[in-house]
Structure 1
Amino acid sequence: MRIALSRSMFLPIERTLVTSDDFKVTTFCFPTGVEALRIQTARAELVVLPYLGQQIWAASLDGRGVGMKSMVKTPKRNVSLLENLGGFFFHCGLTAIAAPGEGDDHPLHGELPNAEFDEAWLDVLESERKLSIGGSFEYAKAFAAHYLFTPSIVVSATEAKFDINAEVRNLKNSPMDLCYLGHINFRPVDGSRLEYSAAYTSEAVRVRGAVPSHLMPSPRYLQLLSDLEKDPAPHHVISETVGYDPEIVLKVDYRTDGDGWAHGLQVHADGSADWVAHRPAELPQAFRWISRTADQDALAITEPATCGLSGYKREKEQGDVPVLGARRVWSASMRVGGLNSHEVQWLLQEIRRL
């Protein structure tokens, strides 16, 4: 069953839209006027912005808030990404991702993070005990790109994890470049550790040495970059004594399990974990972003992507930007959420086998 959403459903007072034994969905508006859906199950709560980028603004798993700490408390429209950087998840792309490099004029992470969606809907999948939040955004720029972006977030009644799906349809009669990245922002937990399906070597886990122009690095920060270039292992321990100020970015060469999934975990002291999985066949490049400052605390365990972060022009010159054919469709999926200690132990055995 599909429920078509309209902006008139969203008021400053929170109201129930759908309720059942498995789910409760309410609608409300932030004080900034941004529309929001609150999806609640026995194990998860998500606040989704159906019209503003289809961002997941906040997430709670088994009663624990997992989203990043940020100076931005409420979402806003018609501002830059850095003025809206407070959500748990946002889509990046599609004409470019990351910070603009030399000769680039694209906004940070492209047009998708704060895109105004044309349509939004809620699908009730009763037989599967799932809900799906979806929408569509059509982008057209003369002499450039024309595409339809149709993402979805699928929430299960019984799990503390969910699927994030992205679909792109090239509406042009000629090929288009395809730049996409999924930005998943967990909060770092001191005392936890990072585990993931890659070799823990400087060849497989490479630190980005270049510093984007909007950041002001300190000598201590530059020394940290130099140390991690030689050996990435120290970043596996999440500790308040290590200041990733303003940020650190690593490129990770993931290995996949027998089903084609690559895995990244933040394993907590009690054995549970935050978890991200993606398919490198769909999203062949992957990055890790950590920012730990007095005002911002974020850990993107895995940022799956189609291309690199060196700026559009340089990535294009290197031949690292994939192309989507005329009228063709591309899609990808990510799995995000929390694992209990038994699930973690089983998955770590798989990772070590790889």
Structure 2
Amino acid sequence: MTMRWLAVVLGVLLTGAALPAQAGPESATHALIGYLHASFGNGSGYVRMADVPDEWDIIDLAFGEPTSPTSGDIRFNRCPAAECPEVESDADFISAIRAKQAAGKKVLISIGGANGQVQLTTTAARDTFVSSVGAIIDKYGLDGLDVDFEGHSLYLDAGDTDFKNPTTPVIVNLISALKTLKAKYGDKFVLTMAPETFFVQVGYQFYGGSNDNRAGSYLPVIDAVRDFLTVLHVQDYNSGPVMGLDNQYHTMGGADFHIAMTDMVKAGFPVANTGRTFPGLRDDQIGFGLPAAVSAGNGYTAPAAVHEALDCLVKGQNCGGYSLRGGPSPGFRGLMTWSINWDHYYDWEFRNSHAPYLDSLP
């Protein structure tokens, strides 16, 4: 139980007021979220689960990948010793996960990534997805699932223009799979998502269509699971310029981009050429993602600029002339990074810069 929640409980006992409901599985009020290269090495170095610093509140195991794009059969393979000489045994890995969870951390399996295209084109693939993801969660005793579908995993068929009632099989089957997993694991199930801006905010300007039928294609999924979505942390990196609610194009790498992109998620926005409006999410469901360092991805943002963005988004201050359409978000959930490994490689700049800032928030 967090100290903040304990204070609420004590207040209830003293006043006799009703106990407010918590939103989603309990975790850090303002979380530091990071991906851990658990199945591969890429030059940033292997980090054992036990060596992940305590400041990381949600740890995403990267990645669970399908045996083929349309199989729905997700496998999570630990990094082989030939590639990651420091890799720990499964027993030590699981023991370290338990220790993290005992300390209040959440450990998730992240599905997809840049190389893990997942297209649930059939109900059979959907069912296999549910069973195979469930098997990974059960084997390692994980807290839930991160959806990191990239590339051509999600798209909209011609004529599928109502995000409230999607008809494209890869969308419909993913929604069904996530609802089934939620039903299986109940209130403790943690669900996060890490879409690229193209699949979310670009939906303001383009939704499906002839230009690229992937534009905005996460919107029906986000909307369908909003009641149990723990955190949406859009990747504010590897992105082209994106039009914000001020109808201006915003470019990654500075405070302005994070402010404008995150405000869209909070305020909601009209979905292009559909006559429908995507409703904004709760404060506590919203974060955004950053590269941990210049080597980790395009769109690295200096810590001072990140804090400038957070001052605006959380407190309504230091907005640089941008007007928040969704208002301040004091319950803002946190920052995600790709990745814990890259942060370790660069002497923990991300952790050292941002964990104290998040901890300083009410």
TM over 0.5: no
Superposition TM-score, scaled by structure 2 size: 0.26
The structure with the greater share of residues assigned to strand is: 1
